[in-house]
A and B are shown apart, each in its own frame.
Chain A
Amino acid sequence: MSPTEKTPDECKSWAYWLSESLDVQLHNTAMGSQGNDLIARKVIHKVVELLDSGVAPEEILVGIVWSGADRKDFYSSEVPADFPVNESGWIKNPEQFVEGDQTQGGWVIMSSGWMHQYSKIWYENFYDEVGAHINTYERIHWTQSYLKSVGVQYFMTTYMSNVINYMNNPAHGTPSKFYQTCRQDPNIQWMHDHIDWQCFLPVQSYSAWCDVHYDDFVNFYDHPQEPHARAFVEKVVVPHVQEKILQGEPQ
């Protein structure tokens, strides 16, 4: 998602500043507008690639800022010629992420504010708010289960506090109305209880943290800029990584 992404024309994201701070090589799979299906898929693919190249699991640290639960993607074998192109180049849609992919297909990203035909039909016919949150929980669970199975350390948070609400810890804030509704629904609750919340940064969300600490930042509207990203890394991410991961505390 965009607060994580770093492109030459955009500001340096938290991922850049963390790699600088820890003096590690950055492999950034983030991209503006992508949803949690693609985030999970691309992170797992990158870790697989690194492990296959001989990198040891303990040499890898994974950091994920989960995106909007309402975002969706699907793989299309043949993308129509008239598919709208993002002219600014900020995102690729459809997206390809497997190296050497010579196919004509790609992952078509859909967002509720976009009105290309795939997006429109999806949100009118198949989208459900609760279903979207279940999907996000499942993608987080898949990613965590995989990283645990290969012994790779990780930390996570969300870009905004409406993505998922992990506020089972009162220190993280007041639960939203939607969250309270979801907590009554066993379809979500059981999966919520299976998420490893210990790996989540001790903030409500990246955006909420910026909102609290910067007068010029508006939650649910602004994207973090370089000063926000750098401070977030220094004050939140690095202390968490040092305490929970580098000192070997179990997650």
Chain B
Amino acid sequence: MTHKHLVSGGCSFTTTQHGTTNWPLYLAEQLDLELHDCAFSGQGNGMIARRIIHTVAELLKSGVHCKEILVGIVWSGIDRREFFTTDSARIESACTQGDSWPTPLAAESNHGSWQMLNAVFPSDFAQNWYTQYHNETESAILFYERVHWTQCYLKSLGIDTFMSVYTNYVMDTEFDQNPNVTWIKDQIDRSVFLPVRSLYDTFEPEGDGSIYGVMHHPDAAQSENFAINHVLPFVKQKYGV
């Protein structure tokens, strides 16, 4: 059975919202697949995992066969977090201070939303989190847990998958030496990762990207290059597309 649907997930390096010309557009075009892009700018890996699983679940529920789906994920910054909240006052307060507005996972929901947290967000809410709870070791642990959750789910359904990371910082971290990180890191299936250090590395070979703050994003030509010269050969070889 051949793929008919491409489910893509990630952050601003992947999203195709608001006319952004990122790699999923070019890959879907090359492989003649229907694109289901659930990437959002600024979202962290918890949200990426949740949206990928949700989108796949919706496709399966609509009658699409597992083997018709190809999932591609470019994981984002490990420092990013999100919290589900039904407290509209909390959201209002954070967002009027400059944080990004939350989005519900399910479009028809009016029951609550996922509020993103990013180290550069100015609100008291965000700063409270990063001051009191954030540390890079836990960020690494949670990142690998999210990747493991997604991989186990997709594997249990037999869905073809490829993955990468947006910058070199995501997986090349010194806190990976902590045994609380290494045991779960060792459970990750590396065979589905593209043979590149990161998406960022494919267009800025001298740079690492930034763990906190604004960085260069791929333009249309760089996104097309990533899709055609890095993703496509990998998918063709691994899944016989």
A118 with B132: CB separation less than 8 A: yes
Contacts of A103 in B (CB 8 A): 178-180
B183 with A48: CB separation less than 8 A: yes
A87 to chain B, nearest CB (A): 25
B129 with A130: CB separation less than 8 A: no
Contacts of B104 in A (CB 8 A): 187
The CA of A100 and the CA of B179, in the complex, are separated in Å by: 8
A24 to chain B, nearest CB (A): 24
The CA of A45 and the CA of B156, in the complex, are separated in Å by: 19
| Segment of A140-148, A162-170, A236-244 in the binding face | A140-148
**Closest chain A residue to B155, Cβ basis:** A149
The CA of A149 and the CA of B153, in the complex, are separated in Å by: 8
A64 to chain B, nearest CB (A): 16
Residue in A96, A121, A135, A186 with the greatest tally of chain B CB atoms within 10 Å: A186
User: Interface of chain A, helix or strand or loop or mixed?
Assistant: helix
A window 96-129: CB within 8 A of B: 96, 98, 100-101, 103, 105, 117-118, 121-122, 125-126, 128-129
A141 with B149: CB separation less than 8 A: yes
B145 interfacial by beta-carbon distance below 8 Å: yes
- Number of B residues with CB within 8 Å of any CB on chain A: 41
A213 interfacial by beta-carbon distance below 8 Å: no
B187 interfacial by beta-carbon distance below 8 Å: yes
The CA of A117 and the CA of B57, in the complex, are separated in Å by: 39
Contacts of B155 in A (CB 8 A): 149
Contacts of A122 in B (CB 8 A): 133
A130 with B111: CB separation less than 8 A: yes
The CA of A228 and the CA of B149, in the complex, are separated in Å by: 35
A190 with B149: CB separation less than 8 A: no
Contacts of B125 in A (CB 8 A): 125
The CA of A141 and the CA of B59, in the complex, are separated in Å by: 18
**Closest chain A residue to B49, Cβ basis:** A138
A145 with B85: CB separation less than 8 A: no
Residue in B50, B105, B153, B180 whose CB lies within 8 Å of A98: B180
B138 interfacial by beta-carbon distance below 8 Å: yes
The CA of A117 and the CA of B132, in the complex, are separated in Å by: 9
Residue in B106, B175, B187 whose CB lies within 8 Å of A187: B106
A30 interfacial by beta-carbon distance below 8 Å: no
What are 24 A-B pairs with beta-carbon distances under 8 A?
A45-B184, A75-B138, A77-B135, A77-B137, A100-B179, A103-B178, A117-B132, A125-B125, A126-B129, A128-B86, A128-B87, A130-B111, A131-B85, A131-B112, A141-B53, A145-B152, A146-B152, A149-B155, A149-B156, A185-B109, A187-B105, A190-B105, A190-B106, A194-B57
- 17 more contacts with CB within 8 A, not counting A45-B183, A130-B86, A142-B148, are A45-B184, A75-B135, A75-B137, A76-B135, A76-B138, A77-B178, A103-B178, A126-B83, A131-B83, A148-B152, A186-B105, A186-B106, A186-B108, A187-B105, A190-B54, A190-B106, A194-B57
